[in-house]
Chains A and B, each alone.
Chain A
Amino acid sequence: MKPNLKVKIRDLEFKNPVITASGTFGYGLEYSQFVDLNRLGGIVVKGLSLYPKEGNPPPRIYETPCGMINSIGLQNIGYEVFIKEKLPVLKKFDTNVIVNFFGENLSEYIEIALKLDSTDGIHALEMNVSCPNKNSEWRQMGIDPKLLAQAVKEVRKRISKPLIIKLSPQVTDISLMAKICEEEGADAVSLINTIPAMVIDIKTRRSLIGTLTGGLSGPAIRPVALRAVWEVAKAVNIPVIGMGGITSAEDALQFIIAGATLVAVGTANFINPITTIEVIEGIEKFLVEETIEDIKELIGKLNE
């Protein structure tokens, strides 16, 4: 018996529930030297803006217990270069390409979303409303329910491709934010983004991150992420993409049982570039062992 691993976001089918987390897999191609990209459920590329962004001053990363803090500042090559140089190569792979995007303000969000929506070879859009490193009025959209509702509504009504909203953990009630996304027409929510964090050198009394604070990721945040996914999955009917410190199939399965339809591998790509493949194989093996014919039978099946 070969279990069915296929899942869907609206009408978009994924061959398996394992995708990559934005910002941890570059534009996908950086990892094609290790991973057969055709095997992935999807690739979520590095957050893209209309124009290239230089990002934050170094030092940008610091290792912390079971994880790391980063403050990259959304450095990216911009829409035009992505379309010209990266997408034509990505298109050759048989996997879903999801473009994570952001803007400095709502009109920029709308503008890039429109462009991505009309570009062939992009299967879905992931809207970043939750980057902790950005400075703009719309930085608040991930934590302000009114701004979030307005932003999702304005983007949604203009685009036809599946729209995923990537949520911040930096709120009191993340399921409320997810419900707002669902009400305003989002097709899925992904969570969690990194958690704001800090580390200090006691001798110099300076932060070890150039921008003083950054976002914490890796297994250190996994239990926090898992609980958030569980809360959100109970609250909404749209698919939830679970992420936060997944390093193995066992980790990923916890998220699926908590209610995630898809799971994203993020920081683990840095410590083992073939984590995605190991997760896919491990999930399949588990389903066989547990005689579960379809992954959907496991989604959200936490015994309470």
Chain B
Amino acid sequence: MNKYSKAKIKSNVSLKEDIYLITLETSSTQQAKPGQFYILRPDVRLDPFLGRPLSVFEREDNVLKFLYRIKGKGTKLLSNLNEGDLIQITGPLGKGYPLPKDEFIVIAGGIGLASVYYLIKSFPKKAHLFYGVRNKEELLFYDLLKEFSKELCVATECGSLGYQGVVTEVFSQKGLQLNLPIYACGPMIMIKEIGRIIEGKEIPCYVAVEERMACGVGACLGCVIPTNQGFKRVCTEGPVFDIKELIL
């Protein structure tokens, strides 16, 4: 029963402005699948009250990494924690991505990279990665991503690197015809556009979604989203859903 434990912070550094990478040392033997998440909560506090669900960025031996952007007071507090501090972790939680059998497409928008990086790394040279950011300063792990993926297409909104435009445009020009399963994480507007592009096509597409969450284990029913089979819990029935299920 070591799904709930205290982990020691090895490092917690800003990579680019408000984007941080936190590295934890854990005694938990729980293995994590790409797409699963943990709830991180600074050790003793009641305000902010809830922990924050973060996708597993990397899991190796006794080290767990999470990539996050400061969005509100919870992530702000998280960013202030230092090396050596203890943090409460619960996980791994949720269903991860269905594991790809061969080559696959990944579409990542901005901080959505946090959810798909581990998938790309776990299947070296199998991912055709379409990675969209606002400008080249926001681009993360370029060299590593180039190494792990079979093909890397970067799109920047301002055109400071790679294609100028949004990542879904590049995908529909260069990725769609590959006819490979798609794994995606990014802002809702990106997910909606992917849904529109592949509508009527028989391409499997799995997307990781985000919702405000409390328990993380399917008990409180707080994180539901509407699907074509009624409300589903992001924490346990997700966070990865078949795009066809989602009401976009």
Which residues of B, 22-65, contact A by the 8 Å Cβ criterion?
Answer: 41, 46-51
B21 cross-chain contacts in A, Cβ below 8 A: none
B221 cross-chain contacts in A, Cβ below 8 A: 46, 55, 60, 72, 75
Q: Is there contact, CB below 8 Å, between B214 and A68? A: yes
Q: A34-B4, A54-B231, A61-B212 are in contact. Are A271 and B41 (CB under 8 A)?
A: yes
Cα A295 to Cα B211 in complex, Å, equals: 42
Which residues of A, 35-78, contact B by the 8 Å Cβ criterion?
Answer: 35-36, 46, 54-55, 57-68, 70, 72, 75
Question: Of B46, B90, B212, which one neighbours A273 at CB under 8 angstroms?
Answer: B90
Cα A24 to Cα B217 in complex, Å, equals: 11
Is B124 at the interface (CB under 8 A from chain A)? no
**Interface majority SS on B: helix, strand, loop or mixed?**
loop
Range class of the B interface residue count: 20 to 34
Q: Is there contact, CB below 8 Å, between B231 and A68? A: no
A67 cross-chain contacts in B, Cβ below 8 A: 49
What is the number of contacts between chain A and chain B, taking CB atoms within 8 Å? 103
**Residue of A23, A34, A46, A58 contacting most chain B CB atoms (<10 Å):** A58
Q: Is there contact, CB below 8 Å, between B49 and A34? A: no
Q: How many residues in A have their beta carbons less than 8 Å from beta carbons of B?
A: 38
Q: A33-B3, A34-B1, A61-B212 are in contact. Are A247 and B46 (CB under 8 A)?
A: yes
Question: Of B46, B220, B226, which one neighbours A70 at CB under 8 angstroms?
Answer: B220
Is B135 at the interface (CB under 8 A from chain A)? no
Cα A67 to Cα B221 in complex, Å, equals: 16
Which residues of B, 62-91, contact A by the 8 Å Cβ criterion?
Answer: 74, 88, 90
B47 cross-chain contacts in A, Cβ below 8 A: 65-66
Question: Of B50, B88, B218, B220, which one neighbours A63 at CB under 8 angstroms?
Answer: B50
Q: A30-B215, A68-B50 are in contact. Are A60 and B222 (CB under 8 A)?
A: yes
Is B144 at the interface (CB under 8 A from chain A)? no
Name B235's closest neighbour in chain A (CB-CB).
A30
Is B219 at the interface (CB under 8 A from chain A)? yes
Q: Is there contact, CB below 8 Å, between B231 and A24? A: no
Q: A33-B1, A72-B221, A75-B221 are in contact. Are A269 and B46 (CB under 8 A)?
A: no
Q: Is there contact, CB below 8 Å, between A273 and B4? A: yes
Cα A75 to Cα B223 in complex, Å, equals: 12
A63 cross-chain contacts in B, Cβ below 8 A: 48-50, 74, 212
Binary contact readout B208-234 vs A (1 if CB under 8 angstroms, 0 otherwise): 000111111111111111100011000
A269 cross-chain contacts in B, Cβ below 8 A: 215, 219
Cα A46 to Cα B219 in complex, Å, equals: 8
Is A101 at the interface (CB under 8 A from chain B)? no
Question: Of A31, A54, A66, which one neighbours B230 at CB under 8 angstroms?
Answer: A54
Q: Is there contact, CB below 8 Å, between A58 and B226? A: yes
Name A52's closest neighbour in chain B (CB-CB).
B230
B49 cross-chain contacts in A, Cβ below 8 A: 63-68, 218-219, 271
Is A270 at the interface (CB under 8 A from chain B)? yes
Subset of 29 A-B contacts with CB under 8 Å: A23-B220, A24-B220, A25-B219, A26-B219, A30-B215, A33-B1, A35-B1, A36-B1, A54-B230, A55-B221, A55-B231, A58-B223, A58-B224, A58-B225, A58-B226, A59-B211, A60-B221, A61-B213, A61-B223, A63-B50, A68-B50, A68-B214, A72-B221, A218-B49, A270-B215, A270-B219, A270-B220, A273-B90, A273-B215
B interface vs A, CB < 8 Å? 1, 3-4, 41, 46-51, 74, 88, 90, 211-226, 230-231
Additional 10 contacts, C-beta under 8 A, given A24-B215, A24-B219, A273-B90: A26-B217, A26-B218, A30-B215, A30-B218, A34-B3, A35-B1, A46-B221, A68-B49, A75-B221, A273-B4
